[in-house]
């Protein structure tokens, strides 16, 4: 019986409205790329966010997108700070992996 309740609750999580802390959390994650730091910024523990991501696939996809964005932002910052060929190649690989490789 517990398993059926958990499965129905998990299904409901993916269809219900976003929780109020999700947008600021995702913004913070996209800015810094650190899950624990982003969770702390909205008053949550990292494990709480991970639990929500396991239950809500849309939220898990949003986390993955925010992490990709953070990776891109960091590569841009690195290139601006030191515009070398190596940093340019790293930026291009992140921006267009299908064209410039992994």
Rounded CA separation 28/38 (Å): 5
CB neighbourhood size of 54 (10 A): 12
Per-residue pLDDT of the chain (102 residues; tens, 9 = 90+): 444 444 444 444 444 577 899 999 999 999 989 999 999 999 999 999 999 999 999 999 999 999 999 998 888 888 888 899 998 888 888 888 888 876
**Max Cα-Cα span within the chain:** 60
pTM to 2 decimals?
A: 0.71
């Amino acid at each position: 019986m517990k398993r059926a309740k958990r499965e129905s609750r998990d299904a409901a999580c993916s269809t219900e409205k976003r929780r109020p802390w999700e947008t600021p959390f995702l913004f913070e994650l996209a800015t810094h790329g650190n899950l624990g730091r982003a969770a702390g910024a909205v008053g949550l523990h990292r494990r709480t966010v991970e639990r929500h991501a396991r239950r809500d696939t849309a939220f898990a996809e949003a986390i993955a997108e925010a992490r990709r964005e953070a990776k891109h932002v960091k590569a841009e910052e690195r290139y601006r700070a030191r515009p070398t060929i190596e940093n340019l190649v790293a930026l291009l690989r992140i921006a267009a992996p299908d064209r410039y490789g992994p």
